[in-house]
Amino acid sequence: MLRLNRNPGADTAIKLAVVACAMFAFVFVVMVPLYDVLCDALGINGKTSNTAYTAVPAAVDTSREVKIQFIATNNDGMPWGFRPQVTQLTVHPGAATDTIFYAENPTNLPMIAQAIPSVTPSRAAGYFHKTECFCFNQQPLDGMASTEMPLQFVVDQDLPKDIRTITLSYTLFDVTTMAGGTGTIAAR
C-alpha cells in the first residue's frame, strides 16, 4: 500500500544528493579561493606583495643587521641564464637597498619571462617590502640578448627580533605562450 504513494525515502535522497553536489562545488568555489586568500592575508607560503611598496619615511635602525640571501632558480624547461649579482647582503632595517639580477636568453628567439618571488622564513614575508622589482612585470628578452634587472627593497623596522636572515628566492617561468608571443616550442 505504501508503495503506491511516493517513496518517502526519495525526498530525503534528493536533499542529500543536493548536499553532495554542493560539497563538490564547495571544493572549487570555496576551498581553492579561500586557500589563496588565507595565504595572502597571513603571509603563509612566503608570498609577498605583487605591487610596489610605497616607502614610508622611517628611521634607519643602524643598531640592527639583517642578512639577505638571494636565490635564482629556473622552472622546468626554462633555458635562460638567471643569477643574482650578489648572493648575500647585510642591511639595516629601514634602509632602502638596491641590487641587480642578470638574465640571459641563450635561444635564438625572443622570449618573455616572469619571476615569482618567495620569502623564507614565511613569517618575514610581510616585513620584506619591494619598492621596485623586475618581478612586478613580465620581462621580454630578444634571442641571444642579456639584461640587468633591478630590485630595490626595504626591510621593515618591525621585523621580529628573532629573524636575522631572510632568503629571497626567485623562480623564473617561461610565459612566452601565455603572453601571446611566439617561438617557445622552437626555443625548447
Q: Which residues in this chain contact another protein in the complex, by CB under 8 A?
A: 3, 7-10, 12-13, 16-17, 19-24, 26-28, 31-32, 35, 39, 42, 44-45, 75-76, 116, 122-123, 171, 173
Q: How far apart are CA 184 and CA 107, in angstroms?
A: 10
- To another protein, the closest distance from the beta carbon of 120 in angstroms equals 9
Task: For residue 134, give the nearest of 144, 125, 147, 121 by alpha carbon.
Answer: 147
72, 102 Cβ separation under 8 angstroms: no
Q: Smallest gap, in angstroms, from Cβ of residue 6 to another protein?
A: 11
Minimum separation from the CB atom of position 162 to another protein (A)? 12
Least distance (Å) between residue 12 CB and another protein: 4
Q: How many residues does the chain have?
A: 188
If the CB atoms of residues 103 and 174 are measured against another protein, the closer one turns out to be 174
Instruction: Between 34 and 55, name the residue whose CB sits nearer to another protein.
Output: 34
> By C-beta, is 85 or 138 nearer to another protein?
138
Q: How far is the CB of 21 from another protein (least distance, A)?
A: 7
Nearer CB in complex with another protein: 20/86:
20
C-alpha angle 117/118/122, rounded to 5°? 155
One DSSP character per residue, 115-164 reads EEEEEESGGGGGGEEEEEEGGGS-EEE-TT-EEEEEEEEEE-TTS-TT--
Q: Which is nearer to another protein, 76 or 186 (CB)?
A: 76
User: Which residues neighbour 25 within 8 Å (Cβ) at sequence distance 6 or greater?
Assistant: none
